[in-house]
Structure 1
Amino acid sequence: MINILITDDHQLVIDGLQLMLSSETDLHCVATATDGAQALAVLARQSIDVILLDINMPGTNGVEACKRIHQDFPEVKILILSMLKEASLIKLLLRSGATGYLLKNAGKDEVIRAIRTVYRGERYYSPEVADIVMLSLAGDTSGATTSPFPSLSRREKQVLKLIVDEHTTAEIADKLFISFGTVETHRRNLLIKLGARNTAGLVRTALEYGLLE
């Protein structure tokens, strides 16, 4: 029996995954969590083989949670769930201890196959993710200087600069002619990519590593 912990801040996703697993006799969802802190608490008190981990969550985000889970519970296999397909972010998560990376548009058969694969100690990537990683590795040069963080898009850099300049979400939306919700999405993605817990952490990291230069 493979004991599974599902971690996602959307109940609809949790319900859908539980339904997928319910028909498999060797897969058992023993617990769910809505953020990284809850997941760590579950791992501390229950025996878990595989954790399905979303990376875009409030509080302890997926990147930070992945690092802590790998450090504190190295026997647990970490299968990332995400719609993000940026090579640098994927590689960061793999370096942080993830055993596999599954896109959220995966069907039931792929989800089940991924869980069984990582449980056996093998890596699993959604086909599109595998292609992205391989292309990224092919483009790497041995002498290249690498940043400790995934690359930021032009828009993310614009949002980050305005955050550093102490603009509110509404002001950022107005200046960039985008919606309030879009700004919040960029903010959440920045928190994930920079491993920050809050806005103060974003500002500190941006200034310390010269991300706006």
Structure 2
Amino acid sequence: MIDVFIVDDHKIVIEGIVLMLRDQDDITVVGTALSGEEAIKMIPTTKASVILLDINMSGINGVDTCKALLKINPALKVIALSMHKEGSLIKMMLSKGAKGYVLKNAGKEVLIQAIHKVSMGKMFLDTDVNEIVLNSIAQQSERKATPFPSLSRREKEVLHLILEECTTQEIADKLHISFSTVETHRRNMLIKLGARNTAGLVRIAIEYGLNKT
């Protein structure tokens, strides 16, 4: 039996995955958590062997959660679940010990295949993810290596306004987007740049000239 633990900050996503897996004779969901912090507390007393882990969560993000969970139990097999298609982020999760990466728009069969593969100690990247990683490697070889992944146009806009000391609401108003969307972009940049908080994000941006790009 493969014991699965699901970590996602959207309850509806967790419920959807539970429904997808409930008819699998050799897979059982032994626990769920709505945050990285909650997962870190629960895992030591849970018999999970495979973790389905969202990357973009409030609080502790998926990258740091993955690192923390594997420190608690190195035998865990982590599968990252995300809508993010950036090659740099995929490679970052794999470098932190994740054994698989599945896009959230993948089908039920792909997720089940991923669970089976990683439970046997193998790596799993779905077809789209594998292509993204290969393209990322090819592009990196064609340009000067940089320690940080590129930011999207909108992320750069948010970053510039952060550097101008705008509040989240002011950024939302200036860019005509919602408060929560600004926070999502901020969390994405924290993950991409490896910063712990906004102050760290500003320091990194200035130090490496990302505020000028």
Match of 2:169 in 1: 170
Match of 1:193 in 2: 192
Match of 2:20 in 1: 20
SS of the equivalent of 2:211 reads coil
Higher mean displacement: 154-163 or 111-120: 154-163
Q: CA deviation at 1:6?
A: 0.1
Match of 2:153 in 1: 154
Q: What is the RMSD computed on CA atoms of the aligned residues?
A: 1.9
TM-score, normalising length from structure 1? 0.90
Match of 2:69 in 1: 69
8 Å Cα contact 2:44-2:72 kept in structure 1: no
Q: Distance in 1 between matches of 2:200 and 2:63?
A: 14
Q: CA deviation at 1:19?
A: 1.0
Q: Distance in 2 between matches of 1:111 and 1:143?
A: 34
Q: Distance in 1 between matches of 2:121 and 2:154?
A: 38
Q: Distance in 1 between matches of 2:26 and 2:20?
A: 12
Q: Give the partner amino acid of 1:78.
A: V
Higher mean displacement: 123-132 or 162-171: 162-171
Matched-pair identity in %: 55
8 Å Cα contact 2:67-2:97 kept in structure 1: yes
Match of 2:91 in 1: 91
Q: CA deviation at 1:108?
A: 1.4
Gap regions ≥5 residues in structure 1: none
Q: CA deviation at 1:25?
A: 1.5
> In the alignment, does 2:103 pair up with 1:137?
no
Gap regions ≥5 residues in structure 2: none
Higher mean displacement: 83-92 or 194-203: 194-203
TM-score, normalising length from structure 2? 0.90
1:40-60 per-residue CA deviation (whole Å, 9 max, x = no partner) reads 112222222100000111111
User: After TM superposition, what 4+ stretches of structure 1 lie above 6 angstroms from structure 2?
Assistant: none
